[in-house]
Chain A
Amino acid sequence: MGQFMLRRTMYAVVTLFILSLTIFTVVRLTGDPVTLLAEPGARAVDLDRIRAEWGLDRSLPMQYLAFAQNIFTGELGKSFNYQMPVSTLYFQRLPNSLELALAATLISFVIGIPAGIISAVRVNSAWDNVGKTVALLGLSVPGFWLGLVMILIFSVWLHWLPTSGQGGWQHLIMPSLALGWYFAASLLRLTRSSMLEVLRSEYVKLARLKGLPGYVVLAVHAFKNALIPVLTLAGVNLVVMINAAVIIEVIFAWPGIGRLLYEGIFQRDFPLVQGVVMQAGIMIVVINLIVDILYAYIDPRIRLTK
């Protein structure tokens, strides 16, 4: 087990190293950030001054070393645009993103899981067709369009909800619906297929043969087992929602991490983009590492497989 953990940890470190190299290279392929830090009309001497100030006049290896050092110190560098450590910015925005992501996750659960179960139990019925339509719409209707339509209806026409920003629970409704809608659809589809698979399994048939009531078969035997892939997906979805709800956060002027990333990309704020991507990468890699170790702990076959 110890050897397995060591091997997995090393994989995680290598993954993060590759990620750091990739993001470092990719952001620099987009061009010189100084052209965006100073708008047209700025003098050449001012551009050179800004380059020197932010260390962009150094060689690429030196810049990478500085970036790597910043990862180890946990500061993740200093944002060009905000002039503060990226880690501070990230953790300032994290509660906002968590708030939105948790609300959206709740919505995706409330819509996706019951609808998925009903679709699976009443397969090919009208309920199933409704479920499938909802899933199709959820996956195909763009979040930005849904968000704008909701603003128009609920804010401008009906005056029920605020258009944007962060504040009370009213501010949370539209962005979390717009964000959760897509994930509800994906959960619905996965719950449906997972439930269908489980409902066809031998142990469910046995449970029915034993004469257990339908709801017990569904709740205790089928749903519990069908939930494993659904929860795994929901976990990944949550990380994505925290770190990459870019469009929804922009539409609703929500001060979260997704918008921070958007602003970083838009302004070529290298340290900010690198930092946010690394932070998200670390989150995903660590969660996967923990899941791998837990799987190995639960199922010895995994840790014995080379």
Chain B
Amino acid sequence: MEKTKLTRRTVLRTAALTTTVLTTPFVRRGQTAEAVVPKGKMTLGWHSNIAARWLDPQQHDGTATPDNFLFANQDALIKNFRDKRYDHLALADKFDFAEDSKSATFQLRAGIKFHDGSPITPEDVRWSYEHYTGASAAVLHERTHAIDIVNDRTIRFSFKDPFLDFPILMGTGNVCGAGWFVPAKYYQKVGKDGFVQKPIGAGPYKLVSQQPGSKIEYEAFEGYYRPVHVKNFTIVSVPEAATRVAMLERGEADIIYLVPGELIDRIKNNPKLMLAPVVSGSWWLEFPGFQDPKNPFHDKRVRQAVSLTVDRKAINDAESGGMGRVSGNWINDDVEYALDWPQWETNIPKAKELMKQAGHPDGFKVDWLTVVPNYFPRGERVISQLKAIGIQTRLQTMERGVYLKRMESGLKEWPGVQIIMNATRIGGSWSNWYDGMFKCGGYQSQDMICVQALDDKFAKYAASFNPAERKKIAEEIQKVILEEYYFVPVFRHAFLNAIGPRLKAAKWEDVFPTALTTGYAYPWEDIELKETAAAEK
């Protein structure tokens, strides 16, 4: 019997088949969209102000925050959805990425419309892509050779060279907004500033009104291709955490984001409420300027000793009520090519021995330990733990913007011996993490962490068009970072949210379906109210 050859096309075909099988239940739901009559009102207590740019996919800032709004008001060709990282078919019902990675073809669903009733056309897709100014715009535009409208539902992107990251960029809502296209004519008519005041999309909820920065009111879009269960959806900005919790307790909000540690018990002790600990950003220790032989962290044994000293479970328990995750890798496991790595041990005697071998039997003084503001308590915990091997340091606090500016400015802003407890959550691919946080000249690594051999490998990765080779290189690089303790992973903290009693949810994952992709509640159209709540006026 002839053995089936494993090619990119067969892999994609299998993936498409699997997608079809897995999405069949949703398709069925889609076919019964008319049978679902949206009812009731749902309110989300948002934890900061609402920036206008989050309402416009064209201005996507490359972070996770716009996700929350895009999933309500807009929709994409393909998108991150439940456990699908980037290739869930949304407004496109067919997506074909060429075997040579030099073109991608999308077929739009038949008969779909924007909220204003205008039909969604390939021209909207093309115009949005060509005029997209948000995150990753430069790389998308540079690498795109042509955009051809094949017919009234089909559009094809051709690239100058194989563009393996294209589907990830197009489909990952917390990395890039290029796949979340806008109604071209309307956008041109009202302009960028006008659009954010009255955004029109093709998502499950259409805008009714907004008080800029403080409140957005949506209404179910009955023309959506999937059933939408709740009629009115309001997002209200409530910066004070205690007020958000009170809103939930009183039934004024149904979902709230960001419950701080001191309020966790109020949620836990209330049987009507449900805590939703979404495992989120990853935290690690880094040693700026460790390449300098005079720096005590130049010695791998010292870095390893630090790793052996950190009690990750204690930090997770204290900082996330034990609801975060003590993971081995500093790169989140929900991105492409992230390497799975076992948990790190805590072993003080072994750490002391390593310090002794490295010539620091009594430890040494570190000028500062700086932690991403405003998570100062977790920095204090690390400082306290490091005392066990004689590393004495103090916590350096600063305002968040100052911290980011100093990170962006490189080693000159971090003189002497320093430890930084850094953190991020970036979607899409592991390469976004490496590129921004580790690579020499990266956004936050700058000249603080320069390992030429790994950067050379990364250049090879970036130049490669072979997925298998890419995966291999990606894993090799991550392995070296971890084995050499260039970064000392600490934990993934939990982004603590809460759900009120009016929502139909047996468990919190019904509203926050997965730790993959977005950290917010979604898909909004799937969230349902209990019968009694839905019947309320």
Contact = CB atoms under 8 A, between A and B. Distances in A.
B242 A83 contact: no
A36 B400 contact: yes
A142 B215 CA distance: 27
30 contacts: A31-B402, A32-B401, A33-B401, A39-B62, A40-B404, A41-B424, A41-B426, A41-B443, A42-B135, A45-B138, A46-B61, A46-B62, A46-B134, A46-B135, A47-B443, A81-B53, A83-B192, A148-B240, A156-B246, A156-B250, A163-B250, A163-B252, A164-B238, A164-B247, A165-B252, A252-B243, A253-B214, A262-B239, A263-B49, A266-B48
B213 interface: yes
A36 B401 contact: yes
Interface in B404-418: 404-405, 407-408
A156 B249 contact: yes
A36 B53 CA distance: 13
A31 B408 CA distance: 12
Nearest to B133: A49
Interface in B15-71: 48-49, 51-53, 61-65
| 5 nearest CB pairs, A to B | A35-B404, A39-B63, A255-B214, A263-B49, A83-B52
Nearest to B270: A156
A305 interface: no
Contact of B52 (A82, A159, A162): A82
A260 B405 contact: no
Nearest to B437: A41
B212 A84 contact: yes
A152 B245 CA distance: 10
Contacts of B240: 148, 250-251, 253
Contacts of B65: 39
Interface string A267-293: 110000000000000000000000000
Given A43-B136, A163-B250, A81 B213 contact: yes
Interface in A192-241: none
Interface string B115-153: 000000000000000000111111000000000000000
B255 to A, nearest CB: 15
A30 interface: yes
A30 B213 CA distance: 22
Contact of B211 (A78, A148, A255): A255
Contact of A163 (B51, B52, B243, B423): B243
A60 interface: no
B432 interface: yes
A31 B401 contact: yes
Given A84-B52, A84-B197, A250-B239, A41 B436 contact: yes
B236 interface: yes
Interface centre among A35, A92, A162, A267 (most CB of B within 10 A): A35
A130 to B, nearest CB: 30
B158 interface: no
A151 B243 CA distance: 7
B399 to A, nearest CB: 8
Interface of A: 30-33, 35-47, 49-50, 78, 81-84, 89, 92, 148, 151-152, 155-156, 159, 162-165, 250-253, 255, 259-260, 262-263, 266-268
A260 B137 CA distance: 31
B422 to A, nearest CB: 8
Contacts of A44: 408, 443
B73 interface: no
A193 B250 CA distance: 44
Contacts of A43: 62, 135-136, 435-436, 443
B193 interface: yes
B320 interface: no
Given A31-B402, A35-B404, A39-B65, 10 more contacts: A31-B401, A36-B404, A40-B424, A40-B436, A41-B426, A41-B432, A46-B61, A81-B51, A164-B247, A267-B51
A253 B239 CA distance: 7
B196 interface: yes
B401 A41 contact: no
Contact of B250 (A32, A33, A155, A263): A155
B237 interface: yes
B405 A31 contact: yes
Most B-side CB within 10 Å, residue of A40, A45, A78: A40
Given A83-B192, A252-B243, A41 B62 contact: yes
Contacts of A37: 53, 61
Nearest to A46: B135
Contacts of B61: 37-39, 42, 46, 50
A49 B49 CA distance: 23
Given A92-B212, A156-B246, A255-B214, A38 B401 contact: no
A253 B243 CA distance: 8
Contacts of A38: 61-63, 135
B385 interface: no
Contacts of B64: 39
A268 B404 CA distance: 13
Contacts of A165: 215, 236, 252
Contact of A263 (B137, B213, B400): B213
Nearest to B408: A35
Interface string B179-217: 000000000000011001100000000000001111100
A166 B399 CA distance: 31
A83 B238 contact: no
Nearest to B398: A31
Contacts of A148: 240, 242-243
A206 B402 CA distance: 65
Contact of A81 (B52, B193, B436): B52
